[in-house]
Every structure is written in structure tokens, then in C-alpha cells.
Amino acid sequence: MKNLKIHLELVDEYEPEIIIKCRELTPDIIRLQQLITGFDTKSNQMIFYKGDTEYYVNLSKILFFQTESSAIYAHTTTDAYETKYKLYELEEILPASFVRISKSAIVNSSLIYSIQRNLTSSSVISFNNTHKEIYVSRAYYKMLKLKMDERRFHK
């Protein structure tokens, strides 16, 4: 969105309010509105979907996000929920513990239990208390390794 003007007004007596003024409802404006309404930074929750039902799930419960067909799913230890975000949008809004591990996946590095390293192909990431696994491609392994080392040394 070029020429986007941002105006912040600090007031004590009002509830926080965001007003978007535009000439027409473009895909960029719709995406901006979804980003604002779909992510609650105080509770660290996002809105996810299953059919016609909305679920409010804390990000600390999300193991990974993965593209399946044309949809993006957020996986917990026991379930999977659809999200309206694209992976590149998730990369911008998720906390620092989330890291891209392939063209089709983002993982919550704080929930990784093990990484079974494979030098010739993708490595396998496992999590506690679930059968779910996900693959980290060789191209993204170094970034994941850096994130894991950062986690280990900054506790």
C-alpha cells in the first residue's frame, strides 16, 4: 500500500479505536483489516476456523503452520485449524519463536522436542506428547539451527 498515512492520537478517556479511511475496498485494505482483527497481541491469541466455527487459540499451543492444498493450517498437539493468513503474512506478525522451515511451513521453535538430522534430504522435527512431525528443508535448516541455539543460550 503506497502512500499510506498513519495517524496516531493518544487519548485517555476512550477505548482504543482504529479507523481505516479508503476510497475503495482493495485486497490490501481487506488484508490489513484481517491482520488487525485476527491477532490479539495482549493475549497472544489468533482466530482460527473449522467450518463455520471460530476458535481462539493461544499461539503457545501452536506447533506449526503448514500449507495443505490451497489452505494454511495451524497444528496443535491434537488438532488442526484453518487460518485466513498467508505464510508470508504470518512471518510478519508471529512472535520471534516462530521460524520458517520450508516454503510451505513455519514452526514454533519453543515447542520442538527433537530434530532428526538428515544430511541428504529434509530433517524431521518432533514434538512432545503428539505423533505429529514436520520436515525442515535443507535450505532452511541453518536458520532453524540458529534459532534453536539462541533459545538454548538465552534461557
State how many domains the chain has.
1
56 within domain boundaries: no
**CA distance between the termini of the chain:** 39
Domain range for residue 94? 62-153
Does any domain span residue 39? no
Residue pair 22/31 in contact (Cβ under 8 Å)? The answer is no
Query: Does a structural domain hold residue 143?
Result: yes
Confidence of residue 15 (pLDDT cuts 50, 70, 90): confident
Residue 70 included in any domain: yes
- Note the maximum CA span of the chain: 60
Pairing assessment for the beta strands 123-127 and 71-75 based on DSSP bridges: unpaired
In a domain, 13, yes or no: no
pLDDT tens-digit map of 62-94? 999 999 999 999 999 999 999 999 999 898 888
Strands 39-40 and 45-50 come out as: antiparallel
Average of per-residue pLDDT across 47-60:
93
CATH number at residue 131: 2.40.50.1020
Percent residues over pLDDT 90 in the chain? 49
In a domain, 9, yes or no: no
> Does some domain include residue 96?
yes
Helix (H, G, I), strand (E, B) or coil at 38: helix
Q: Is residue 10, in this structure, part of any structural domain at all?
A: no
pLDDT in tens, 121-141: 789 999 999 999 999 999 999
Mean pLDDT of 95-112: 93
